[in-house]
Structure 1
């Protein structure tokens, strides 16, 4: 397993412990200039031989380059059969709870080369601080429309797993690799990732600030308009991120309704096997009611804006198609006009030739009569 981490002190230890229990042989970790104690935790695991620790303090969103090098070294130095490129807030596991990752990959056909793994976002009540592994107990299965309504663009993108290859390239974000996928694991060997991206306001706001500033420092790397990190960074700068953070989490009433509808499904495998290092500092729902309501207003406005943007884009596409159709019609009309002109010219030429020939015959006849 490879991972590039920065300021993940609240979760990095349980994440490493989980994957060691799952049978990962080597964890190559690059610390990206952490200042919150993450580096010291990684050093302890490195001293025990559980982690190969590297350092890259540059903050310019160079994840793709760094992870690619770690993935290549996993094959060329450590002889990896399979490589999982992970983030510190991800817990990889088989869907079958009776299996471990080792069980899966020992029995998995390497001929498939690479495949995508579903990433499931975990949610629950918000908190001011804390790891929250015993609080974020629900698989977030809300529809895209429901996510848009609370200011979220979509669920997390699947991650790519690949066989060990010294020339592999991992694309920024770990979602794509250069090795083509030639199949998928059979259902009994399927794996998934439980993702904990918004563990607390303290962790989330720091991550948004770190990520946004790194993108601003990056050269040649332009995030899309819908990039979740940069959208949150703009909210942080506007002073609306806390309200947005609250609103994207379900209230107790939302949870009850979501559990009944299937939008939230309880998932306790991490909660029951892993300790949270940082204790939770809960959000007082009554005292934060105004912020929660503000988040609802912001989410509603952003949803309306995105809807209008989608409609405008669709109208633009229709206008573009119409313009092409008009252009093609004009071209066809032009061709028909040219054809008519050519036909008319040909007709006139033919008629002129006939007139000339007739005139010649008349002149010849007159000339003959004069000589009789």
Structure 2
């Protein structure tokens, strides 16, 4: 994985992935300034993480991740390679299995296959990683997503066989290997994704991504690219309201459950809390796991900000709609 300023979640992701049976995590730190580098250095000292550094901020994800994916094969003889972000937690659908056990029962003949990605959402916070707070699978209809400034649910991720000439596309969702199908249903996997963990995290992520794309004009993100849409909202001074609009109020969750728009799933939170006794670096995990690590947005403030955000997003859709 390639990371930048993910100190609120990266230790949890590393501990989870190692606990799921990964032999090694190869990480490139993209000149983080929030403490992420120091966390990664601590894990590198355990030799369970191989740490590299890339100081350029030009959104060169495809090039960097492709290099790490190739290294996984050429230097470490990996059978399977998982290209993940710091906010992505890969796990079998059957939670009695680990990722390693699922992959051991998956034929290498498949070459590459996809895993569904589900966003975990919940009430907002000004800061914090969201573990213990973001326990709701987001199944909102696409029409509702459009109303809160989101284009679509996440694109599936790709797991691939180790290959020395693999190419990983920008975003980690596609690779150059031709897929020969999907694993059997009993060993299927999915990704828990925590994209909007707090206002502090989202603002940092949006500014970092927007400036990186501006620094690399050769990249042409889609007009629907969520990061660039949020960067435009940030520059308009409306990103915080948009964040509060996209995070459901407690009332919205309560009303949305019977409609199938939200599904409670506390597995990831309980799993991460339960890792404390077998974590590689318990102190790093403890620093980010648990709702007491968050600074929640008060309900009244959330509802007022979300209402303002919805009004502005509606106006913005009309202003930017094609003629």
TM-score range, shorter chain: over 0.9
Does structure 2 retain, via aligned residues, the 8 Å contact 1:111–1:182? yes
Residues 244-298 of structure 1: CA distance to partner in whole angstroms, max 9, x if unpaired? 0000011111000111111100111111021463411111122344322210102
Match of 2:4 in 1: 6
Q: Say which SS state the counterpart of residue 39 (structure 2) adopts.
A: helix
Displacement, 1:301?
Answer: 2.6
Question: Which of residues 50, 57, 60 in structure 2 aligns to 1:59?
Answer: 57
Question: Which of residues 18, 21, 32 in structure 1 aligns to 2:19?
Answer: 21
Q: What does 1:155-170 correspond to in 2, within 5 Å?
A: 155-170=153-168
Residues 11-53 of structure 1: CA distance to partner in whole angstroms, max 9, x if unpaired? 0101100011100111000000000000001001100111000
Displacement, 1:303?
Answer: 4.4
Q: Does residue 297 of the first structure (1) align with residue 307 of the second (2)?
A: no
Q: Say which SS state the counterpart of residue 115 (structure 2) adopts.
A: strand
Does structure 1 retain, via aligned residues, the 8 Å contact 2:246–2:306? no
CA separation in 1, counterparts of 2:315 and 2:298?
Answer: 25
Match of 1:34 in 2: 32
Using CA pairs below 8 Å that are at least 6 residues apart, which structure has the higher relative contact order?
2
Q: What does 1:153-192 correspond to in 2, within 5 Å?
A: 153-192=151-190
CA separation in 2, counterparts of 1:288 and 1:188?
Answer: 41
Q: What does 1:113-262 correspond to in 2, within 5 Å?
A: 113-262=111-260
Does structure 2 retain, via aligned residues, the 8 Å contact 1:131–1:199? yes
CA separation in 1, counterparts of 2:52 and 2:40?
Answer: 10
Q: Say which SS state the counterpart of residue 128 (structure 1) adopts.
A: strand
Does structure 2 retain, via aligned residues, the 8 Å contact 1:83–1:162? yes
CA separation in 1, counterparts of 2:258 and 2:126?
Answer: 27
CA separation in 2, counterparts of 1:125 and 1:289?
Answer: 10
Q: Say which SS state the counterpart of residue 274 (structure 1) adopts.
A: helix
Equivalenced residue count is: 307
CA separation in 1, counterparts of 2:176 and 2:117?
Answer: 20
Q: Say which SS state the counterpart of residue 161 (structure 1) adopts.
A: strand
Q: Say which SS state the counterpart of residue 188 (structure 1) adopts.
A: helix
Match of 2:110 in 1: 112
Does structure 1 retain, via aligned residues, the 8 Å contact 2:249–2:302? no
CA separation in 2, counterparts of 1:229 and 1:257?
Answer: 29
CA separation in 1, counterparts of 2:263 and 2:317?
Answer: 25
- With 87-96 and 292-301 compared, the bigger mean Cα shift is at 292-301
TM-score normalized by the length of structure 2? 0.92
Q: CA RMSD in A?
A: 1.3
Q: Which has the higher helix share?
A: 1
Gaps of 5+ in 1: 313-372
Does structure 2 retain, via aligned residues, the 8 Å contact 1:126–1:246? yes
Question: Which of residues 297, 300, 304 in structure 2 aligns to 1:283?
Answer: 297
Residues 310-352 of structure 1: CA distance to partner in whole angstroms, max 9, x if unpaired? xx5xxxxxxxxxxxxxxxxxxxxxxxxxxxxxxxxxxxxxxxx
Distance 1:133 1:180, change over 3 A: same
Does structure 1 retain, via aligned residues, the 8 Å contact 2:9–2:129? yes
Q: Say which SS state the counterpart of residue 271 (structure 1) adopts.
A: helix
Does structure 2 retain, via aligned residues, the 8 Å contact 1:7–1:35? yes
Does structure 2 retain, via aligned residues, the 8 Å contact 1:122–1:137? yes
Match of 2:282 in 1: none
Does structure 2 retain, via aligned residues, the 8 Å contact 1:138–1:264? yes
